[in-house]
């Protein structure tokens, strides 16, 4: 099961890299950045997943009864993913706002036009 997750995350990352390197439209470049991020997030969540595991939340009585040693999913990657999602959303917002301002100034969002600094 989990193999599918890994394959999809690799496909997502490759698609994102394709968009960033090949697409001339700056909005599509930003979308590519987002897709890379989603691929990485899916990968991290999959790392911590155990098939058939429970949530890693226990009450005191469960701990005393020894239920804490039961089979549960790793909570750390989920915390990492949450952080990463928040950061990714901020990146997209900032990148899009830059694209809006570039459009105002250059009257174009084509990567071939937005290259006044070169050489």
Partner 1 sequence: MFDYHHFPVIAVMILFLGAFLVEIFGSKNKTVRNTIALVIAAVSAACIYALIKPVFFDGEVISYWMGNWEPVSGYAIGIGYEVDALNLFFALLTVTTFLLSGIYSVRYMEKDEHLGHYYTLYLMLSGGVLGLVLTGDIFNMFVMIEIMTFAAVALTAFRNRSFGALEGAFKYLVLGSVGSSMTLAGVALLYMSCHTLNMAQLSSILGSQPLNPTTVFAFALMFAGLAVKAFIVPFHTPAADAYMVAPTSVSMMFSGMVNKAGVYGMIRLCFTIFHAMDQSSLQILLAAFGCVTMFVGVTMALAQHDFKRLLAFHSISQIGYVITAVALGTAVGLSGGLFHAMNHTLFKGLLFLTAGAVLKATGTTNLDKLGGLSKKMPKTTICFLIGAFSISGLPPFNGFASKWMVYQAVYAKAVTTGNFFYAVVTIVAVVVSVMTLASFIKVTQACFFGQCPENLKDTKEVPLSMRIPMWILSVLCLVTGIFYNFVYEKLLYPAMVAALNTVKYIDSMMGAGYAGAAGVANHLVDAPRFSVWDPISWLLLFVICLVAVCLVIVLGDRERGKVSDPETKPADGKYATFFSGEHELHSHVAGSDLFWGFKKDFKGYFNVVQGAHDGNVNTYASWVVIATAVIAIFMVIFVK
Question: What residues line the site for partner 1 (CB under 8 A)?
Answer: 13, 17, 20-24, 26, 29-30, 33, 36-37, 40, 43-44, 47, 76-77, 80, 83-84, 87, 90-91, 94-95, 98-99, 101-102, 105-106, 111-112, 114-119
Q: Cβ closer to partner 1: 64 or 79? A: 79
Q: Cβ closer to partner 1: 62 or 105? A: 105
Give the nearest distance from C-beta 103 to partner 1 in angstroms: 10
DSSP symbol at 87: H
Q: Cβ closer to partner 1: 8 or 102? A: 102
Distance between CA atoms of 57 and 75, rounded to whole angstroms? Answer: 9
On whether the CB atoms of residues 67 and 99 are closer than 8 A, the answer is: no
């Amino acid at each position: 099961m989990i193999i599918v997750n890994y394959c999809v995350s690799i496909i997502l990352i490759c698609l994102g890299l394709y968009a960033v390197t090949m697409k001339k439209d700056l909005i599509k470049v930003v979308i590519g950045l987002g897709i890379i991020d989603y691929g990485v997030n899916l990968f991290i969540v999959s790392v911590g997943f155990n098939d058939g595991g429970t949530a890693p939340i226990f009450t005191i009585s469960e701990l005393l009864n020894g239920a804490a040693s039961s089979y549960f999913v790793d909570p750390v990657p989920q915390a990492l993913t949450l952080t990463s999602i928040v950061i990714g959303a901020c990146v997209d917002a900032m990148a899009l706002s830059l694209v809006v301002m570039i459009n105002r100034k250059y009257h174009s969002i084509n990567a071939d036009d937005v290259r006044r600094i070169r050489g």
